[in-house]
Amino acid sequence: MADTTFGPKGWTPERLGDQSGKTYLITGANAGAGFQAARTLLNKNAKLVMLNRSKAKSEAAITKLKQEFGINADVSFIRMDLSVLDSVRKAADEVLKFVPRIDALINNAAIAQVPTRKLTVDGFESQLGTNHYGHFLLNGLLFDRIAESKGRIVVVASLGYNMGLKTIKFDDMNWDQGYGANTAYSQSKLAQMMFAYELQDRLAAAGRGDVQVFVYHPGSSATSLITTSGSRTMRFIWWLMTKTPMVQTAEQGSYPEVMCATEETLTKQRALYGPTGRMEMVGPVGRGTLNTHAHDKPVMTRLWDESEKAVGFNWNL
Ligand SMILES: NC(=O)c1ccc[n+]([C@@H]2O[C@H](COP(=O)([O-])OP(=O)(O)OC[C@H]3O[C@@H](n4cnc5c(N)ncnc54)[C@H](OP(=O)(O)O)[C@@H]3O)[C@@H](O)[C@H]2O)c1
């Protein structure tokens, strides 16, 4: 049954109060849902730090945002390529130097539906490397600053977690066998969700209530995700889909992201937030269905341990 916590229209930015004094970090905020979330937060006077891969796209995004919200809009970017662990480490160093508080770190950036198997410079399958390992390391490096700020970690899932293997392929993390653009993407998003749910468990076990961790997905939203990294066929299918009511706007896709970063009344962390309308792909934002394979305890514990080894970082919670 659809969640009615926020009324028939679901959560919308109309609920968002003044954000003066708050700082939000968003990965991949120069396009798509991340850019729209940036707009909503700046509109309420938040300070926004984007962690983006492309310098040119980031500068263009900042110009656009300053045109809309004025020259004094507090928006900046730090260059970070999530697919390169060294770049993540450098970006985290800069954040720790220049950003004194983090009210929420929104793990928004991703690549999707990469048609052929590629490895990152660190030797990971590209989608797992970018979407999961890059963010896993970034969150670990920034965790203390988020905790000092009593902030939130927001992780972006995808309904794709219900596709593919629905578990982690530990014996072949890099897909030496049986690579598929969608299966590998689905696993990378499942890995991100497992990271978040395992982090919730570890924080609870350590008796820490200083950081909250929320997971959401944007449903099916007209962003540049497929056009950036998907195959020609996928791009065509996606283009056709965007002409149907099964796809909502990028702005609507950003609502759950902003909700999870800001909504004070949101308390249930072991949940999946997002659109609650047709097939949970579009519609009013609230709490959706969370299937149990996303928090299969032995799998997520093992993934955590393997991820620490893979990125060479121990969380020490
Ligand atoms: N759109 C949907 O229907 C949908 C559905 C389910 C889940 N999602 C999730 O929603 C989130 C937002 O995606 P979107 O749909 O808004 O896609 P998008 O328009 O393609 O935006 C993705 C952002 O990620 C950045 N990015 C990609 N690779 C990066 C890297 N290596 N390092 C740093 N940044 C990187 C991109 O910036 P550059 O181009 O500069 O690299 C871009 O700003 C993603 O996590 C995606 O998995 C989207």
Pairwise CA distance, residues 10 & 3, whole Å: 8
- Give me the CATH number covering residue 76: 3.40.50.720
**199 lies in some domain:** yes
**148 lies in some domain:** yes
Of all atoms in ligand 1, which is nearest to the CA of residue 54?
A: 40
Please check whether residue 146 is in contact with residue 100, taking contact to mean a CB–CB distance below 8 angstroms. no
**316 lies in some domain:** no
Domains contained in the chain, number = 1
Alpha carbon of 205 to ligand 1 centroid (Å): 32
Which residue type sits at 1?
Answer: M
Q: Mind listing the pLDDT tens digit of every residue in the chain (317 residues)?
A: 567 789 999 999 999 999 999 999 999 999 999 999 999 999 999 999 999 999 999 999 999 999 999 999 999 999 999 999 999 999 999 999 999 999 999 999 999 999 999 999 999 999 999 999 999 999 999 999 999 999 999 999 999 999 999 999 999 999 999 999 999 999 999 999 999 999 999 999 999 999 999 999 999 888 777 667 777 787 777 677 777 778 889 999 999 999 999 999 999 999 999 999 999 999 999 999 999 999 999 999 999 999 999 999 999 98
Distant-in-sequence, close-in-space partners of 94: CB < 8 Å, separation ≥ 6: 78
**280 lies in some domain:** yes
The pTM assigned to this predicted structure is: 0.96
Tell me, using a 6 A CB cutoff, whether residue 132 lines ligand 1: no
Give the domain extent around 89: 13-311
Distances (CA, A) of 188 to 98, 121, 170, 247: 30, 17, 12, 22
Percent of the chain exceeding pLDDT 90 equals: 88
185 given a catalytic annotation: yes
**6 lies in some domain:** no
**3 lies in some domain:** no
Provide DSSP, 252-285. Answer: HHHHHHHHHHH-TT----SS-EEE-SGGGTSSSE
- Token pair for residue 214? 């929320």
Pairwise CA distance, residues 29 & 288, whole Å: 24
**1 lies in some domain:** no
Pairwise CA distance, residues 65 & 71, whole Å: 9
Bridge partner list, 286 = 274
- Token pair for residue 105? 């770190």
**4 lies in some domain:** no
Tell me, using a 6 A CB cutoff, whether residue 30 lines ligand 1: yes
